[in-house]
Structure formats: structure tokens, C-alpha cells
Structure 1
Amino acid sequence: MSRTFSALVTSGADLLGVTGPFPVDVPWWAEVEPVVERLERALGVAVYVVRLLRVDGGEGGRDGHVTYHVEALELPAPGSPALRPADRGTRALLEPDNALRSPWARADGLRDLLGWASRTLAALGRPVTGPVRQRRTWNLAGLFRLPTGQGPVWLKATPRFASDEAAVIAAFARVDAGLVPTVLASDERRMLLEHVPGEDCWAADAATVEAGVRRTVAAQAALAGREPPRLRDRRDPVLTGLVRDLLDGPAAPDLTAQERDRARELTGRWERLAECGLPDTLVHADFHPGNWRGDGRSPVVMDFADAHWGNPVLDCLRLYDFLPEAVRGTAVRVWVDAWRTHTPRSDPARALALAEPLAHLTYAVRYQEFLDGIEPSERPYHEGDPAAVIRRALHCQRHPGLGFTEMVD
């Protein structure tokens, strides 16, 4: 097994002890549903994972041995063989509350979140009919599945540095309601979403890619020029400044002077990118196929926590990086054709060629925002990511992957 875990178990103010290690067959630290299932079998009571406490080994958000803080909703039977006393070092992992800790990463905040969801669904005439299943928890989101008589509902909570997903979904829904999930209710940094049938589109075929790209581009073209929702400004001049600040500040110790100089030179491409004529619009910014969901029809686009206002070229590049090799060409062809149709004077192919390394510099800015917004125990998820993707940008400059090299010269 590539991931094992232990759990420091509490119930309210009581520290009950430690359990584990246990193996799980899903390597990702944030995927906690199998963790919860294994602990509930061992302890005999319902539990939720509160947060990650420590990782030994593993990298990139996966593998190794993970220690979680877990909250038991009831006390296990006295003398449960699954629990043993926590030593001083393990108890010390339950450090005092941190100002950067997300609400769902606190036991009381988790109970408040689930209580809000239950009350809200009851008021909507869709009371919860069974156990709430915790799907994922980490510094970027808490995700839960709630059963109701009219089908499952998803509860999502996001941190303060995430975009207002409900507002972004509403903006897209005004021009194409079927492109996005249905928001049943929302509050500050949390929302209830109608279930979208089907599967995540990691293995998307050409027809799915074409439908998703054409529909998204049409929506972005319709939104261009409108008053943007309250979002991060990531227009080309803004990104130029943010990347230069990153290179001179937090990322500097992890890069050589030569790497920093080459990355600064790359930022000059943003001025040339603006000349390609694509409009500033609502950008998903994490437009990979795992954030699409479909059942053979046109996919629904999910997860707008990174959305911003800026150049839409980023979405095609993100999609290209994650698609199966066989359909990457389809994505590029359809995206270029769609933007030429909606903005005839634009040059989307040249935009892709210029922006391929710039996309990675944009990701570096976002990863640094993650690091700046999370508490120390969560940093293993993103440590080193800004420097790594800056180096990826430099690699793309030397070895372009889209076949448009001549359009950059």
C-alpha cells in the first residue's frame, strides 16, 4: 500500500487516544473517505477527519504515512482495543488553534458546517435521510455527500483565499445554466450543490472534449466585457507584476540567480500576449478534465475555487496538460477555432504559443497564495510547488509542447 495512516482521536474536549497504522488503497492524503470507513470499523462509532497533523514520507499530496486528527461523534466502547494512549510527542500535534486554520479543520467548525447544511436542506424540503459521508478534506476544501429523498447533495466549504464559487457559478449560469452545477444554497465560503450524474472526465474522448471546450468558450465570450464578479484580477499586466514580486521575494531562495533572470525575461511575453486580441473574461483557472463531469452528454464544469478575471488562454493550456494524449490535439484545434469564431480579429494559436510557459508562472503565483494562506501542518501539500512550476515554465520555453514555436518568434 502506498499510503498508511494513524489517527489521533478526540471527542469534544476529550482526547481518546491513538489508533493505527492502517493501510488504504487510495494514495492521496486529502481523500479521506476510505480513512473514515476504516476508522468506523475499528472504533464502532461515526467519525470525521478534522485535519492533517503530520506526514512522514510521500510527496505531492500522496503516499507515505499520514497522521490525522479525527473527531468521534460518540465515545467508543470503554477499553476499545483499537485505541492506545497518545505519547507526549503525538499529543503535541494537537497544537492550539491557528489563525489560518479553516473552519472545517476544527471540530467545532466541522459540526457547525454540517449543522448548517442539515438545517438548510430541511428548510428547502430536502431533509438529510442518512449518514453524511466525508469525501475529501484539506486546506483547499472540505467536501461531503449528503443523502436526501430527492437524490444526493454535495456540501463544499472553501478557504478565505478561494474565489466565491457560488458567484462564479451564477455568472456562468446566466449565459449557460447547463454548463455548471446547480447551487441549492450558499453562505460565506460554503455551498450546497445538486449532484451531477456521471463520472469525472479524466478519460474524456474527442466528442466530450469538443463539447466541453466549445460550450465553455461560448460562455466566456458572452461574459467578456461584462462587469466581473468579485474576483482576483489576473489580467496580463497584473500577472507580470505578481510574478516579478514572487521571483524577488518568497521564491528567490529556491531558485538560482540564472533561473530568476530567465523567468523575469519570460514575463515580457504578457505584453505580447495582450496583442493577440483575446478578451479578458471569467477564467476557470483549473480547467483540467477531472473538474468536468459527464454521462455521455456535454460535460458540466465543476470547482471554480481558482477562478479569476483574465486571459482565457490559461484554460486551454491547463486542459491540454491533463488530457489523454490522443485528444490533446482535438482540444487545441477546437479551442482555437472557437475563439476565432467568437473574436474574429484574435489570434488564439499565437496566444497559446506565447502563454505556454506563462501558464506555469501563473500557477506559481497561485501556489504561493496557498502557502501564504495555510497553517504550517498543511504546508507539505504545496511546499516547493512555486519553484517547481517556475522551472517547468523555463522548460516549456526551451521545449514547447504545442507545436506553435514559429509563432513566438
Structure 2
Amino acid sequence: MSRTVSAWVTSGEDLLGVVGPFSVDVPWWSEVEPVVGRLEGLLRVPVLVLRLLTVEGGEGGRDGHVTYHVEALQRPAPELLGRRSVPEGLSWGDDVLRMPWARAEGLRELLDWGVRTLEAAGRPVTGRVVQRRTWNLAGLFRLPTARGPVWLKATPRFATDEAAAVGAFARVDAGLVPTVIGRGEHRMLMAHVPGEDCWDASPETVTAVTGRFVAAQTALAHHRLPELRDWRTAVLADRVNALLDGPVGAELDREERQAVRGLTDRWRLLAECGLPDTVVHGDFHPGNWRTDGGAPVVMDFADAHWGNLVVDGLRAIDFLPGPLRATAARAWAEAWAAQAPGSDPVRALALAEPLAHLLYAVRYQEFLDGIEASERPYHDGDPAAVIRSALRCAERPGAFLTDLEV
């Protein structure tokens, strides 16, 4: 299945009409650069995508028929648009949970801030800003400058202070993370990192980036960042119990809830493995590593927190293809054995394999609690789904553990 798109177009307070449906090559709902390009060709004026309105079909944030709210920066000719009456049931009114970059005035303010901040930093914008992605977890824009592109990223209220997390790693290993050029509340400007994401990482890349990241986390373990949420093991155990006592628990049957509660002792045992609490990336998969052939740069710290770092090792393992899973596990365990003598990182991986999924359940519920109704198709059902993944891991541990002689 591919993505087809319709767009309801506004200009200021005026609803101008609808365009589409038309198809785009990129299936992901949040990837709006091709949507903007197609709409500007049809409407002959510059536009920006504000937010998702509806989705029919598709799943996992991709495919299906997607309808967006789009703001025209100039008024297009009326004959280029279709009907002007909003169909019943379309999410059109204001919403207190709407992201600032999903409102026309908020988006203009954000882009103006980016341009002004780069001007003050001596890197004036030399062309039009390009909207790359927009969804409930981020707005991402590319700003051209004479010294190369700069990326403007905006994040929601429930996201980490990403610039603070990146800055912490930069203090101990500057080349490991992007260069931050400007920062504000839930927004930052980053220098472009050339190359490609590491979805096809070699064993050498996996081992190198893991060892380097572990060394940086070790250096940060003695300096708690107050900007980061406290997600140490005891806190997460309480958050999981709260999920089970609420609507998420109602999506599970009695046996599933009991089985999850049966994992409780693993939190204590994990804390006894001797690994330090430190800055945890939270989404340390190879799609968030980027390289042009040199040392990889680690990106996207919006899920960073203070807690047990085993989740980063498991996240990398989860997203790598079969043969590389054991490579990643071994690299992570050996790096921590060297950095924390007397610790037991292999046992930590075994204990935490299901617990990591429970952490993701807590995080997905934060997403759902913090976004407006029309954006919920991105995450509906995710907390219960990853809780069930935790139970499967507890019953059938990953094959990568066998190679570590757990």
C-alpha cells in the first residue's frame, strides 16, 4: 500500500477548500516535504503542513489515505481548490493539546525564531526554509545558510530538553553528537550532519558507536542533569503499575496483567547488576546514528532520561538484523564490563529485555496523554502492544542472549 493525500487549505482565518486525493512516493505520514512539493505545484503558492486531520487505512504511521490541514502563505486561485464546506466529523476546532507548530501562528513564530537566531549567530538564512517532517512528536525544518544547512527541531511539552542532553554529551565527546547552534524552550538549531543513517551498519560500526557511547555515558554518570526526567528503576516500576491500574490495563486480560506484575522483582534485580544510573538516550537504534564514512554521530535525544542504561543496549539490538544482534549485545556487554568493573552487564540484558518494553509502554502512554485526538492514530494501542511484547520476551528470551552464555 502507498500513501494518498488530501489537504484542507486555509489562509489565516479563511477555509479555502480541499485539494486531492493525490499520491506521494514516501509512505510515512510525518514526512511532509513531498506533500508540500506536490501541493505547491497544484496551488502555485507556498504552503506549510500544519497537522494530521484523519487517516483511512494504513498502520504504523504509514500508508493509507491521509488528510492534512495545510496553511497557504499566499491565497491560491479559487478554481484550484475543491469543495469549501468541512465534512461532518472532521477534527477542525481548537484543541488545548495541539502542538505550537500545528497552528499557523505558532509555526510562523517558530520559523521566525530560527531565522533570527541564525542571524544573531552569524549564519544568516540564504533561501527558503524547507519543511521536512511534522507530527505530534516533532517539527523538523531545513534552513539553508552559506556554510551549509541548519536543522530546526521543535518538540512537545512531554519531550526531554533535547539541547540539554546533547550539550551534556558534547562536553565529554563533542564529535559524538550534533553541534547545537541555538536553543530555546522545546526547540533547537543543529548543524547538518552529512552522510546516511546507519540502518545498514557494519559490525565495525555497531561496535565502534556502542563503545564510544558507553564511554560518554560513564563520564556523565557522576553529574545528574536536573533537566532530565527521573526514570530510575523504582520510578519506572511505579509507572508501570499505574498503567496496569488504568485504561491500558483494561486492554489486557487478567492473566496478562498478572504476568506483568510477576515481572516486578526484575526491577530490583536489575538495579543490583552494578551498572550506574546515567543519561540514557532512550531510542538508541541505528536509525539515530549517522555517518558519512567516519565516526557515527548520535541523533535524536527527545526520549533521553536519567536511569538504567541497559535500555540503550537493548534498543540497538532490537532494531538490528539477526546476525548483528549478537554483535551489538556483545559490544555493549564488553564495553560496560570494562567501564564498570564488577558489574554484570550480561545479566542486566537478560533481566531487562522485557522491562525495556514496559518502559516503552510508559513512554507511549505519555504520547497519547499529550496529543490531540486527530493525532492518536500514530500511537493508539501501542502501550498494550508493547506490554504484550514484554511478556513474549519473558517467555522466550532473545537468541542473542544464548551467544552471551546467559
**Aligning the two structures, in what range does the TM-score lie when normalised by the shorter sequence?**
over 0.9
Q: Name 1:274's counterpart in structure 2.
A: 271
Instruction: Work out which of the residue numbers 122, 128, 148 in structure 2 matches 1:125.
Output: 122
SS at match of 1:79: helix
Instruction: Work out which of the residue numbers 170, 194, 200 in structure 1 matches 2:191.
Output: 194
Q: Name 1:203's counterpart in structure 2.
A: 200
**Map of 1:177-188 to 2, 5 A cutoff?**
177-188=174-185
Cα offset, 1:250, TM superposition: 2.5
Cα offset, 1:93, TM superposition: 2.9
Deviates more, 1:223-232 or 1:154-163: 223-232
Q: Name 1:84's counterpart in structure 2.
A: 82
SS at match of 1:16: strand
Structure 1 pair 79–284 and aligned structure 2 pair: CA distance change class (3 A) = same
User: Contact between 2:326 and 2:401, CA under 8 Å: does it hold in 1?
Assistant: no
Listed one character per residue, the Cα deviations across residues 169-193 of structure 1 (whole Å, up to 9, x for unaligned) are 1111111111110000001111100
**Distance in structure 2 (CA, Å) of the matches to 1:251 and 1:407:** 34
- Deviant stretches of 4+, over 3 Å: 402-409
Instruction: Work out which of the residue numbers 281, 284, 305 in structure 1 matches 2:281.
Output: 284
Structure 1 pair 408–360 and aligned structure 2 pair: CA distance change class (3 A) = farther
What is the aligned-residue identity percentage? 68
User: Contact between 1:168 and 1:229, CA under 8 Å: does it hold in 2?
Assistant: no
Structure 2: which 5+ runs fail to align? none
User: Contact between 2:32 and 2:49, CA under 8 Å: does it hold in 1?
Assistant: yes
User: Contact between 2:325 and 2:400, CA under 8 Å: does it hold in 1?
Assistant: no
Structure 1: which 5+ runs fail to align? none
Q: Name 1:244's counterpart in structure 2.
A: 241
SS at match of 2:262: helix
Q: Name 1:10's counterpart in structure 2.
A: 10
Instruction: Work out which of the residue numbers 190, 196, 213 in structure 2 matches 1:216.
Output: 213
Q: Name 1:398's counterpart in structure 2.
A: 395
Listed one character per residue, the Cα deviations across residues 265-290 of structure 1 (whole Å, up to 9, x for unaligned) are 11220101111100000000100111
Q: Between Structure 1 and Structure 2, how many residues are aligned?
A: 406
**Distance in structure 2 (CA, Å) of the matches to 1:380 and 1:88:** 21
**Map of 1:5-404 to 2, 5 A cutoff?**
5-80=5-80, 83-89=81-87, 93=90, 95-404=92-401
Q: 2:32 corresponds to which letter in structure 1?
A: V
Cα offset, 1:119, TM superposition: 1.1
**Distance in structure 2 (CA, Å) of the matches to 1:399 and 1:188:** 43
User: Contact between 1:350 and 1:408, CA under 8 Å: does it hold in 2?
Assistant: no
User: Contact between 1:204 and 1:324, CA under 8 Å: does it hold in 2?
Assistant: no
SS at match of 2:301: coil
**Distance in structure 2 (CA, Å) of the matches to 1:138 and 1:97:** 17
**Distance in structure 1 (CA, Å) of the matches to 2:92 and 2:248:** 28
**Distance in structure 2 (CA, Å) of the matches to 1:219 and 1:251:** 36
Structure 1 pair 130–259 and aligned structure 2 pair: CA distance change class (3 A) = same
Cα offset, 1:225, TM superposition: 2.2
Cα offset, 1:326, TM superposition: 2.7
Listed one character per residue, the Cα deviations across residues 195-247 of structure 1 (whole Å, up to 9, x for unaligned) are 00111111111111111101100000111122324111111111111101101
SS at match of 1:114: helix
User: Contact between 1:218 and 1:342, CA under 8 Å: does it hold in 2?
Assistant: yes
User: Contact between 1:163 and 1:232, CA under 8 Å: does it hold in 2?
Assistant: yes
Q: 1:190 corresponds to which letter in structure 2?
A: R
SS at match of 2:79: coil
